[in-house]
């Protein structure tokens, strides 16, 4: 199937754009579009036409969804071509030319696609730069063997290795033979065991639960009572502590109140009366001293002002004097400048005379030429070398072209005539499609060797051992399901026995622990046992019976008396029964009182004794179950050995024998694989012989000796034939190049002859212009460019010196006029200030200097007078300020005296001190009130005072200490009550005082469900990973020969021989790996290739896979998009050539936005490629 035309009727930004793809021997269609021209849109249109628009598309920015249309003309094999239009919609989206739905066109398009869908078409027939990059990275990934690489290249799935690793990793996280806390199955199994243990621990009887519940309620009630008692004692202690804490502040508060009652209320002078009084006194003293100092300073200033003088006329002439001072220095400089001007003028006159002599001019003051004429002559002199150089280059280029013409004639003679190799080239194409047969032969032999080694390893791994595969096949081994059943039964029995053993050990340790705890408690408490109490009471009763007989009945015991506990009495008791009775009563009462007082401890003792009995009973039952489990396990092992008797081998454990069966199955499968591989090896050897017989006559016809043909391998003969074909192709290319170059040389000879004539004419024109320019400057017309340029430079310099001489004369006149004005201005100033006028320029300069000195002295005297007058004014103002400050201070003191009701300042000081004392007492009372409020816990001050007065402060510490000791005793009792309550709660919770047994049952069911889910998920992902690996290996087994052989040829062409070929090598794990072979025979693995070379490797394998697919299926268009981004120009050309070769078998649509690739393809491939521009 191929596209004869692609019609972008309303799609993306296209409207009515048609691409027509003409068919030919090569069907390579290159579609070029600059950025934003719509290259990607056009490529997307191919998939949308073949398989329909997706539900959502971003290409409706110009045309609405219902207006989107893509048309195409399809040619499919022997069927007639047809035209169809695809619209956006859910059904009946393929239309005919009239816009009507056409089911027949759907059928024809589906038949042309041969069952391919969008995913398969994109994966198999679409190539782009991102796909090349992902495929190259997959080839270089760790663990990417030949099976993964070939399946990735053959199917277009670049992430096969990653997907297989993901599946294997997920399976490992679900389950593995080795238990691990990170695997889901074993996590659920752990929760199952914990739930079973919880259920076993927390199943109790109703009577036990009620008894422990009542004990907990009693312990909590006792604890709450003691907590309340402790709170009451703590409140009393806090109240006494508060009284003790506030007692000093209360006493000081009472003292302050008493002192305030004794003091009279002072007048309100304000809080700053002391500060105002002190500041006023200080101000008065400071102001008086300052006034005296200022008046003395004013007297000194008056004396200094009387001694200063002034010259108003001189000060009025100050601007003119300053100006004359500035002109005086300039006049001195002008005198020196006049001398310099005279010297420079003489030098310029001498230089002009020398210039006139050098130019051979006799006029004293000639008219010098203008700058325009001089610049034009300079330009013509600078062009002289260029014209000469152009003429020389034209002659040299013409001679070089004639030499090239002679060289091409010699190369044509040396190239010779071309021999025909079309038949040999066709045979090579057919042989190339079959791949490297000798490599397949070697690979087949390697495969045979590998399978043989695998069989040997598998046989060596068998335990029990078997000598060979035939013997192994003949053994009468049990069925796998029977082995699995026995393995499961034995494993269950061992697990049961292990669990029972653990339970027996736990119960043994627990029984010993409980028994030791009981003995330690009895030893610590030293409680009288019930036996001790019974024996004491028997002794007491026996003594009483003897006393009653002897002292009440006053008789001895006879035969008619009831038998008593005579054995409880010793001889001393029988001799003195009254004393023995008193002692026995005291001992029995002591034992009874002790047991009554320690009834809780006795209850705990009885409970622990019951626990000991329970543990001993549980231990006995567990021991019996363990013995039964041992017997069952031994019986299963006997049955296991009998199961393997027909095979006449001694079996190992179930796990080992299951592995043994797996190894046996693997050995037998490898044996069958060995037979198949041997048959394939023989078939390839026959095809190698046939190829040699077909190739030998053609090589002989081309001059290859027969002995070399007989000794060389088939691959060498093919390479020799390919070299001969390439040699003849190069010879033809060389002749074509010579012809092209000869045409270029002929055109160059005509052009260079014309250029030489043009250079000669330009040189003649320059000589005429040069002669005219020299005549215009007054120079000899026969001067060459170098001499003429020297004369022009002399002429230009003389012109500049004449201009400089005129400028010096003008400057001299200016300086003389300025000196005359200076003398006149000095005379005017001297007359104004009443001094004598100067007689000459020197006297004027000296007079200016004297005027400046007098002016400076007068200005200094005047400025000093103004400064002293300003200082006197400031001092007078300061004296007035101090006088005002002193008066204000006296006024403030008078105000304070009036408010205090006193007349003298000494009495004012006493009134201020009394007011300060009264305020200090008020402040201290306020602070004490705040302290009492803080330390008294918010209790009113009156209540605190009353509490302190009602307390005996001398006994307060004693009372506090007594309460603290009482609280300590209550805390100890409270701790004991808390421990008792906690023990009762722990005992109640330990036997399941809540719903933990029910929760554990729920968790057990959840754990079972999680185990089931993990097992089912493990089966799915594990089988998926195994199937993916099997598919990769099967694909590599079927295709690695032809794909590697064809990929080797393509890789050699793509890399220009840098990677001469590909081969398959087995690594240490006997996994086949794809390895590149350099031109020198050295290997290079994909991970050691550059990124660009890996892209080329993946492209070679993909093209080989597409060619292999086309051998057995209908062709579909190959869509390529900018494949050569990482290719240099040589490898890009090689890639285009490979696509051109592929286009002989199926249509190739190559999209690019690189103009140089378009031009390169057109220049290299010629009529093998058709170019289209968007």
pLDDT digits (tens, 9 = 90+) for 283-335: 888 888 888 898 888 888 888 877 777 777 777 878 887 787 777 777 777 77
Helices (H), 938-1090: 941-950, 953-990, 996-1054
Confidence of residue 158 (pLDDT cuts 50, 70, 90): very low
Residue 1099 has a pLDDT of 92
Q: Is the pLDDT of residue 142 over 50?
A: no
Q: Between 844 and 1070, where is the model more confident? A: 844
* Contact predicate 851/324, CB 8 Å: yes
Choose among 19, 1, 104, 6: nearest CA to 49.
6
Query: According to the model, what pLDDT value does residue 1131 have?
Result: 92
- Residue-wise pLDDT for 207-223, tens only, equals 566 677 778 888 888 88
DSSP per residue, 627-690: HHHHHHHHHHHHHHHHHTGGGTS----HHHHHHHHHHHHHHHHHHHHHHHHHHHHHHHHHHHHH
pLDDT higher at 1129 or 785: 1129
Query: What's the CA dihedral at 794, 797, 802, 807 to 10 degrees?
Result: -170
pLDDT at 1038: 54
60-71: average pLDDT? 89
Give the residue, 286 or 412, on which the prediction is more confident.
286
> In this predicted structure, what is the pLDDT of residue 1144?
92
CA–CA distance, 27 with 1149 (Å, rounded to integer): 8
526: left (phi over 0), alpha (psi -120 to 50) or beta: left
Q: How far apart are CA 568 and CA 542, in angstroms?
A: 7
Written as six digits, the tokens of 190 are 């752990």
Q: What average pLDDT score do residues 542-565 get?
A: 66
Residue tagged 């010259």 (tokens)? 311
pLDDT at 191 (0 to 100): 83
Which tokens belong to 394?
């034209």
Please state, in angstroms and rounded to a whole number, the distance separating the CA atoms of residues 412 and 434: 38
User: Are 715 and 439 spatial neighbours (Cβ–Cβ below 8 Å)?
Assistant: yes
- Sheet with 28-32: strands ordered across: 126-128, 1118-1121, 1148-1152, 28-32, 1169-1173
* Mean per-residue pLDDT, 168-178: 77
| Tens-place pLDDT, residues 470-493 | 777 778 888 878 888 888 888 888
Q: What is the pLDDT of residues 606-616, one digit of tens each?
A: 667 777 787 78
pLDDT greater at residue 1100 or residue 721: 1100
Higher pLDDT, 595 or 301: 301
Rounded average pLDDT over 529-545: 79
Reduced to 3 states (helix: H, G, I; strand: E, B; else coil), residue 1061 is: strand
Residue with more model confidence, 1069 or 169: 169
Taking only the tens place, the pLDDT of each residue in 852-888 is 887 788 878 888 888 888 888 898 898 899 889 888 8
Half-sphere exposure of 223 (CA within 13 A, CB side): 17
User: Is the pLDDT score of 1028 beyond 80?
Assistant: no
Residue from 839, 1042, 846, 1028 nearest 147 by CA: 1028
User: Quick one: the chain helix, strand, coil %, rounded to 5?
Assistant: 75, 5, 20
What does the pLDDT read at residue 33?
A: 92
Could you read off the pLDDT of 1013-1027 as tens digits, one per residue? 888 888 888 777 777
| Cα–Cα dist 1131/1092, whole Å | 10
> Interhelix angle for 1091-1110 vs 118-125, to 10°?
120
pLDDT over 60 at 992, yes or no? no
Given this model, what pLDDT does residue 993 score? Answer: 46
Tell me how crowded residue 406 is: count the other CB atoms within 10 A of its CB. Answer: 9
* 1051-1078 mean pLDDT: 79
Q: Render pLDDT for 74-86 as a digit per residue (tens, 0 to 9).
A: 998 778 899 999 9
Q: pLDDT tens digits for 1118-1166?
A: 999 988 888 998 999 999 999 999 999 999 999 999 999 999 999 999 8
Question: Cis ω on the peptide bond leading into residue 846 (within 30° of 0)?
Answer: no
Query: Rounded to an integer, what distance in angstroms lies between the CA atom of residue 643 and that of residue 662?
Result: 17
345 pLDDT exceeds 70?
Answer: yes
- Helix/strand/coil for 1096: helix
Question: How far apart (Å, rounded) are the C-alpha atoms in residues 406 and 678?
Answer: 64
Give the C-alpha separation, 818 to 811, whole Å: 11
Q: Is the dihedral of CA 175, 178, 179, 180 positive or negative?
A: negative
- % residues pLDDT > 90 (the chain): 10
Instruction: Assign 45 a pLDDT band (cuts: 50, 70, 90).
Output: very high
The pLDDT value given to residue 595: 63
Kindly state the helix (H) or strand (E) to which residue 1131 belongs, with its residue range.
helix 1129-1142
Residue 31 scores a pLDDT above 90: yes
pTM exceeds 0.85 for this model: no
Q: CB-side exposure of 764: number of CA atoms within 13 Å? A: 6
- Is pLDDT at 561 greater than 60 in this prediction? no
Per-residue pLDDT, 5: 95
Buried b (16+ CB within 10 A) or exposed e, 915-940: beebeebeeebeebeebbeeebeebe
């Amino acid at each position: 199937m191929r596209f004869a035309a692609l019609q972008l009727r309303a799609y993306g930004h296209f409207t009515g754009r048609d691409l027509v793809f003409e068919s030919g021997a090569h069907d390579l269609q290159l579609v070029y579009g600059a950025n934003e021209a719509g290259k990607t849109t056009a490529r997307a249109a191919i998939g949308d036409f073949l398989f329909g628009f997706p539900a959502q598309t971003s290409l409706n920015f110009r045309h609405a969804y219902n207006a989107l249309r893509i048309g195409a003309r399809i040619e499919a094999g022997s069927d007639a071509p047809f035209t169809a239009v695809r619209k956006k919609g859910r059904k009946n989206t393929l239309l005919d030319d009239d816009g009507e739905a056409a089911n027949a066109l759907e059928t024809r398009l589906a038949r042309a696609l041969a069952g391919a869908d969008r995913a398969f078409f994109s994966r198999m027939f679409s190539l782009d730069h991102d796909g090349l990059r992902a495929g190259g990275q997959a080839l270089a990934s760790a663990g990417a063997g030949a099976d993964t690489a070939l399946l990735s290249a053959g199917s277009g799935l670049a992430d096969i290795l990653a997907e297989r690793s993901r599946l294997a990793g997920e399976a490992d996280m679900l389950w593995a033979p080795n238990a691990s806390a990170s695997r889901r199955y074993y996590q659920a199994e752990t929760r199952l065991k914990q739930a079973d243990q919880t259920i076993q621990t927390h199943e109790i009887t109703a009577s036990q639960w009620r008894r422990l519940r009542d004990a907990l309620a009693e312990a909590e009630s006792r604890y709450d009572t003691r907590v309340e008692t402790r709170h009451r004692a703590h409140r009393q202690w806090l109240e006494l502590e508060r009284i003790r804490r506030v007692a000093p502040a209360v006493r000081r508060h009472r003292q302050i109140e008493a002192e305030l009652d004794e003091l009279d209320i002072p007048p309100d002078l304000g809080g700053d009366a002391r500060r105002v009084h002190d500041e006023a006194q200080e101000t008065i003293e400071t102001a008086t001293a300052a006034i005296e100092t200022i008046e003395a300073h004013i007297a000194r200033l008056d004396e200094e002002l009387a001694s200063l003088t002034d010259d108003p006329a001189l000060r009025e002439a100050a601007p003119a004097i300053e100006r004359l001072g500035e002109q005086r220095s300039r006049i001195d400089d002008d005198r020196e400048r006049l001398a310099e001007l005279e010297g420079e003028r003489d030098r310029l006159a001498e230089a002009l005379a020398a210039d006139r002599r050098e130019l051979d001019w006799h006029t004293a003051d000639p008219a010098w030429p203008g700058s325009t004429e001089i610049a034009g002559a300079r330009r013509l002199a600078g062009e002289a070398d260029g014209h000469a150089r152009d003429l020389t280059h034209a002659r040299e280029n013409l001679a070089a072209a004639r030499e090239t013409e002679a060289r091409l004639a010699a190369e044509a003679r040396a190239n010779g005539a071309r021999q025909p190799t079309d038949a040999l080239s066709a045979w090579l194409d057919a042989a190339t499609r079959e791949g490297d047969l000798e490599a397949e032969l070697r690979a087949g032999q390697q495969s045979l060797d590998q399978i043989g080694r695998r069989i040997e390893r598998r046989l060596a791994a068998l335990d029990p051992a078997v000598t060979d595969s035939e013997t192994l096949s003949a053994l009468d081994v049990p069925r796998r399901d029977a082995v699995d059943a026995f393995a499961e039964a034995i494993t269950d029995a061992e697990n049961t026995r292990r669990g029972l053993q653990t339970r027996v050990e736990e119960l043994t340790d627990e029984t010993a622990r409980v028994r030791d705890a009981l003995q330690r408690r009895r030893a610590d408490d030293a409680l009288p046992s019930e036996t001790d109490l019974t024996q004491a009471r028997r002794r007491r009763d026996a003594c009483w019976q003897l006393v009653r007989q002897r002292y009440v009945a006053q008789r001895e015991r006879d035969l008619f008396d009831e038998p008593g506990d005579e054995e409880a009495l010793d001889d001393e008791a029988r001799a003195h029964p009254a004393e023995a009775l008193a002692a026995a009563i005291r001992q029995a009462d002591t034992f009874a009182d002790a047991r009554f007082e320690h009834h809780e401890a006795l209850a705990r003792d009885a409970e622990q004794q019951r626990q000991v009995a329970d543990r001993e009973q549980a231990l006995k039952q567990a021991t019996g179950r363990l013995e039964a489990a041992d017997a069952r396990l031994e019986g299963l092992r006997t049955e296991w050995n009998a199961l393997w008797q027909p095979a006449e081998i001694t079996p190992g454990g179930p796990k080992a024998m299951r592995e043994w069966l797996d190894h046996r199955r693997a050995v037998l499968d490898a044996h069958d694989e060995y037979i198949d591989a041997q048959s394939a090896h023989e078939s390839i050897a026959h095809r190698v012989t046939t190829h040699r017989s077909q190739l030998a006559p053609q090589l002989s016809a081309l001059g290859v000796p027969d002995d070399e043909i007989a000794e060389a391998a088939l691959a060498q003969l093919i390479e020799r034939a390919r070299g001969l074909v390439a040699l003849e192709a190069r010879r033809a290319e060389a002749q074509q190049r010579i012809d092209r170059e000869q045409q270029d040389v002929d055109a160059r000879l005509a052009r260079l002859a014309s250029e030489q004539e043009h250079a000669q004419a330009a040189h003649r024109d320059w000589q005429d212009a040069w002669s005219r320019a020299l005549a215009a400057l007054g120079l000899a017309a026969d001067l060459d460019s170098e001499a003429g340029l020297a004369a022009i430079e002399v002429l230009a310099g003389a012109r500049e010196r004449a201009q400089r001489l005129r400028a010096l004369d003008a400057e001299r006149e200016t300086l003389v006029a300025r000196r005359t004005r200076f003398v006149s201005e000095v005379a005017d100033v001297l007359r104004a200030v009443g001094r004598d006028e100067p007689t000459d320029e020197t006297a004027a300069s000296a007079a200016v200097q004297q005027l400046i000195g007098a002016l400076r002295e007068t200005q200094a005297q005047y400025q000093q007078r103004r400064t002293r007058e300003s200082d006197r004014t400031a001092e007078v103002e300061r004296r007035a300020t101090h006088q005002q400050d002193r008066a204000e201070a006296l006024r403030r003191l008078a105000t304070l005296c009036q408010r205090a009701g006193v007349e003298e300042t000494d009495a004012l000081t006493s009134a201020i001190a009394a007011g300060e004392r009264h305020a200090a007492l008020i402040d201290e009372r306020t602070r004490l009130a705040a302290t009492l409020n803080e330390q008294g816990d918010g209790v009113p001050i009156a209540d605190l005072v009353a509490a302190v007065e009602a307390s005996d402060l001398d006994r307060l510490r004693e009372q506090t200490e007594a309460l603290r000791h009482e609280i300590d005793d209550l805390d100890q009792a409270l701790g004991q009550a808390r421990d008792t309550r906690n023990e009762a709660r722990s005992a109640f919770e330990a036997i399941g005082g809540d719903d933990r047994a029910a929760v554990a049952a729920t968790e057990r069911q959840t754990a079972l469900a999680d185990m089931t889910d993990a097992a089912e998920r493990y089966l799915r992902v594990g089988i998926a990973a195994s199937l993916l690996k099997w598919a990769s290996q099967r694909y590599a087994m079927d295709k690695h020969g032809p794909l590697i052989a064809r990929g080797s040829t393509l890789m050699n062409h793509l890399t220009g021989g840098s990677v001469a070929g590909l081969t398959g090598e087995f690594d240490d794990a006997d996994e086949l790996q794809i390895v590149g072979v350099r031109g020198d025979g050295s290997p290079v693995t994909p991970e050691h290739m550059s990124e660009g070379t890996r892209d080329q490797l993946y492209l070679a394998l993909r093209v080989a896979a597409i060619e292999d697919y086309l051998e057995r299926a209908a062709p579909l268009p190959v869509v390529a998009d900018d494949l050569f981004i990482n290719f240099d120009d040589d490898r890009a050309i090689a890639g285009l050539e490979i696509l051109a070769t592929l286009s002989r078998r199926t249509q190739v649509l190559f999209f690019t936005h690189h103009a140089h690739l378009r031009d390169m393809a057109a220049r290299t491939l010629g009529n093998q490629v058709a170019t289209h521009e968007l």
